[in-house]
């Protein structure tokens, strides 16, 4: 029988894989047989992910890469290609958050978000997509957000950056469709990650539980997503079972986009 969603023999890059969604994706891909390049700007967190993968019998390696540095990205991709001969999967998960409306968002804040959330995604795709095309194809998956699909209060810079991720996904998909490179994105609502816990601790130290429930209730389904749930969708979109899917944006949002009046 066919082993569905098998990634054996494939090489995958997952950015921001030191924690949260990126870590869950890296673990899922390794479990499915992929050899995972765990990219993160934080060496210790990346090593922890790699250690978890190896402890479970998978194959992975650490690459400390700042996706905002185009030369560092190119060097890391070139080195990986030289060793593995091809790169089959790229997941652009690395990103940073920003809170505030347009009046509260400074030029410096826009630049900070741009460097990681927009230029960082462009840098990795610029390095990887042509190599995938030359090797016969591959799958690129970008982490966008429901903020790229609907208005989200006080997320001006973040929404702008995720809107760019969405349209960059469409652009790469159409530019490389004839060369076997698929490019899709997923658009999560709130996901319960260490970032959320840290955000609540720093900003709502006296009522963390109350604010957690409020953030959870934003999703009609009544809770936040778990990183593993995002990883499951990422696995499908990067597997050979999704070879007819490209240029698509998948909300994974507990009903937020489809039930705006909830």
Tell me how far apart the alpha carbons of residues 257 and 254 are, in angstroms, rounded to a whole number. Answer: 8
Query: 1 pLDDT exceeds 60?
Result: no
Closest CA to 22 of 228, 252, 251: 228
Do 83 and 159 lie in one domain? The reply is yes
Structural domain count of the chain: 2
Query: What is the mean pLDDT of the segment spanning 125-145?
Result: 98
Query: What is the mean pLDDT of the segment spanning 89-111?
Result: 97
pTM: 0.96
Closest CA to 160 of 97, 216, 93: 97
Domain membership flag for residue 4:
no
For residue 137, give the CATH number of its domain: 3.40.50.720
Structural domain harbouring 113 = 11-189+226-251
Do 94 and 198 lie in one domain? The reply is no
Do 220 and 230 lie in one domain? The reply is no
Do 146 and 203 lie in one domain? The reply is no
Q: Where in the sequence numbering do the catalytic residues fall?
A: 158
Do 64 and 172 lie in one domain? The reply is yes
Do 52 and 176 lie in one domain? The reply is yes
Do 99 and 203 lie in one domain? The reply is no
Q: Which of 44-48, 155-159, 201-205 has the lowest mean pLDDT?
A: 201-205
Do 117 and 206 lie in one domain? The reply is no
Do 144 and 214 lie in one domain? The reply is no
Do 182 and 214 lie in one domain? The reply is no
Domain membership flag for residue 233:
yes
**For the chain, percent of residues with pLDDT exceeding 70:** 99
Tell me how far apart the alpha carbons of residues 165 and 113 are, in angstroms, rounded to a whole number. Answer: 12
């Amino acid at each position: 029988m066919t082993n569905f969603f098998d990634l054996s023999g494939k090489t995958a890059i997952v950015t921001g894989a030191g924690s949260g969604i990126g870590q869950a994706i890296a673990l899922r891909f390794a479990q499915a047989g992929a050899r995972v390049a765990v990219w993160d700007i934080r060496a210790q967190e990346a090593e922890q992910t790699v250690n978890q993968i190896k402890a479970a019998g998978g194959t992975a390696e650490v690459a400390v890469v700042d996706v905002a540095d185009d030369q560092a990205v190119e060097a890391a991709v070139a080195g990986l290609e030289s060793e593995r001969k091809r790169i089959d999967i790229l997941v652009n998960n690395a990103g940073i958050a920003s809170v505030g409306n347009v009046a509260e968002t400074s030029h410096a804040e826009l630049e900070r978000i741009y460097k990681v959330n927009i230029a960082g995604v462009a840098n990795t795709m610029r390095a990887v997509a042509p190599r995938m095309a030359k090797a016969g194809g591959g799958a690129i998956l970008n982490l966008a957000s429901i903020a790229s699909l609907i208005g989200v209060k006080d997320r001006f810079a973040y929404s702008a950056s995720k809107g760019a991720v969405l349209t960059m996904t469409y652009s790469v998909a159409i530019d490389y469709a004839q060369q076997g490179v698929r490019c899709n994105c997923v658009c999560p609502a709130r996901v319960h990650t260490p970032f959320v816990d840290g955000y609540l601790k720093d900003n709502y130290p006296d009522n963390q539980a109350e604010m957690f429930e409020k953030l959870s209730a934003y999703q009609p389904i009544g809770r936040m997503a778990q990183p593993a749930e995002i990883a499951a969708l990422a696995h499908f979109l990067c597997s050979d079972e999704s070879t007819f899917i490209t240029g698509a944006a998948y909300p994974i949002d507990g009903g937020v986009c489809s039930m705006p009046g909830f």
